[in-house]
Amino acid sequence: MTVQNILKMGDPRLLRVAQPVTEFDTDALHLLVRDMLDTMEAVNGAGLAAPQIGVDLQLVIFGSDRKNPRYPDRPLVPRTVLLNPQITPLGDEEEEDWEGCLSVPGLRGKVPRWSRIRYQGLDPYGDPIDRTAEGFHARVVQHECDHLIGKLYPMRVRDFSQFGYTEVLFPELADAEDD
């Protein structure tokens, strides 16, 4: 198990546009995916993007087969490793909901996201992934893919009265290791 250091907001590497993955089913790629999964699980993340650990590639992971203590009331999202993702909104409807981020520890904000999306990309073997998602699943995908274009969720917050410290906004989550 190799848990990687997660970059924090302010690190300029989080603002880069990530490069496409061009080689699939390699030992290096599988090791990177394993390290990302280990890191995400160690810190109770709902997802993790390669740029968050300083790797400049279009690679995100998200989902789990068990409830996440940082988001205890959210539905499960299927564990996914997604490379070179593309997101297409399915309609114009947006939903605002609370988000946190491993790169923005201890804070939460209400963020608008498309309600329904189609996401496409490849798995680590180069096989296609093509899914539709809504609700929390769609939110997680959009959040993680934002990291690939150098965006952190505070950049999408519209109302900063809906942004603050997790321990103040959600004291019941204090033990969920939000930072």
Residue 136: both structure tokens together: 């929390």
Active-site choice (93, 95, 99, 144)? 144
* Neighbour tally for 112: CB within 10 Å: 15
Contact between residue 150 and residue 17 where contact means Cβ atoms under 8 Å apart: yes
- For residues 139 and 46, give the distance between their C-alpha atoms in angstroms, rounded to a whole number: 11
Q: What is the pLDDT of residues 74-89, one digit of tens each?
A: 899 999 999 999 999 9
Indicate whether 71 pLDDT > 90. Answer: no
Indicate whether 1 pLDDT > 70. Answer: no
Enter the pTM of the model: 0.94
Task: Please confirm, yes or no, whether 144 is among the known catalytic residues.
Answer: yes
| pLDDT for 73 | 86
Q: What is the pLDDT of residues 18-41, one digit of tens each?
A: 999 999 999 999 999 999 999 999
